[in-house]
Chain A
Amino acid sequence: MPNAIQLHQVSKAYGDTQAVNNLDLNIAAGSVYGLLGPNGSGKTTTLRMIMNILMPDHGEIQIFGRPAGRKEQDQIGYLPEERGLYSKMKILDQLTYFGELKNVPRAEARRRGQYWLQRLELSDWVDKKVIELSKGMQQKLQFAVTLLADPPILILDELTSGLDPVNASLVREVLLELRGQGKTILFSTHRLEDAERLCDSICLIARGRKLLDGDLQQIRAGFGKQTVRIEFTGEAQWLHQAPGVRKTDLFDSYAELQLQSADAAPEVVRFLAPRVNIRKFEILVPSLDEIFLTTVAAAQTSAARSEQEPAYVH
């Protein structure tokens, strides 16, 4: 089966600004994929190109193996970061309209609209205009607009921003159900706890370039095992003398050891066990937050360094 979404060497510039730079993405059908990156990293541009709203300057984009275009657009439900609804249109009319634009017959679009309004707890507002809804309700309505045509691919940009915890969990519940139905979900966010909870794979981009890409567990594993948290009683000086330790940070009730490599952990245990009283020894799994911050920071330093080099070196 071809990938749901595939980008090959895609680039896009606005004037002198390179928004996306030779980006490759492979998003398997049925996966939940997180596209992460700081503000201005090229996420929205990438999504717009996948949606065929913007044309890439170079490179190829394929949806289920076919070049992205008008027809492929209809296979994707797109929730842009900047929400947009017709403020003076009644909400069921609005749902029906956007459904029709995605090729759902009118009566069917209306029926599905009613279903989603009920599901997202908006039924009481059927005859209201959008302008009368609270911001959170508008968010949910926008989500319903995205889902109405029941497309195989969903692109959700900052899905849960602006939702209170109750509504956020309602939306997440729907999302899990959609994943269960085998939909491909491309999730763009800089709220990492969402990505952590939902995504199988992630891609981290900054300044239009890919910094990390792959299975979330593997990425974590790659980043982890180098930090050990240890709770102990005894002489702290032994920690400094442990072999394979790059750096030691002592806190009130515990210490964090940065190892030179992941393999050093058993050695550290063997060295410390006879010398101090270990109450807890834990190999830390880095949070996505840390991965994000470290990787982006590293990329920025290297980018800054390369900018200082004279141009003819390239």
Chain B
Amino acid sequence: MSNETNRHLDVITPATPVLDDLRRFTAARVGLGRAGSGLPTAAHLKFTLDHARARDAVWSAIDSRGLAGEIANRGYPVAVVASEAGDRPTYVRRPDLGRSLAPANAALLRSKLGAARIVAVIADGLSAAAVSANALPTLDAIAARLGAYGLAVDAVVIAEQGRVAIGDPIGAALEAELVIVLIGERPGLSAADSLGCYITFRPAEGTPDSARNCVSNIRPGGLEPRDAAFKIAWLTREALSRGLTGIDLKEDSAAELETGPAAPLIEG
């Protein structure tokens, strides 16, 4: 038995020892060893598992109804809409359709929710897994931080097959002053459940990406939802007071973290 094991290990060339002390410095797949010129079986299967997770994150759907129920339980007016990309294969091929909302849907949204000053949009983007795992914790944390500033999320819209810019027609339909889009990011092999956040002042169709602020990699182990919410609420407050988002608004919430409360609105 042990002979068998030893004989098996002989065919694996371990990573050379000179690298050992460097391996702790990166999450990259270094020091895998090799089987001939190929990957050892465990490293090969670990890679395929990580890719399978990423693909599942892209190709699975969010549970919109369940999510809407949870959001309604928190007391928000909530609605579910779909972009003009009807299904996943269309969605990945046609970014233009994922950004647009049928006029009839915009009207329905308006009649259901009325006008809202700050709108949160939760979109599946490229990772349903990110929405399932991180959208609610992030929304709750944002609400808490906004509350400290005397602000609130006035309505929540769940957008299926949505890209970042779906927040523009949604925000416009609700005459929003500001829209916060929480969206599943393109999954990588190391993390398939990262949420991205895009904040747009006075959203309107055709808003360029340079007029948005972004907070990315929101997930446990990445940017924690609580820490993300601190940045998002700071950006929201500043956007409303300065009347803009985008490249002219640099996120600088850390300055307040380091120097302590800069204004009485911040929790002590």
**Are A and B associated in one complex?**
no
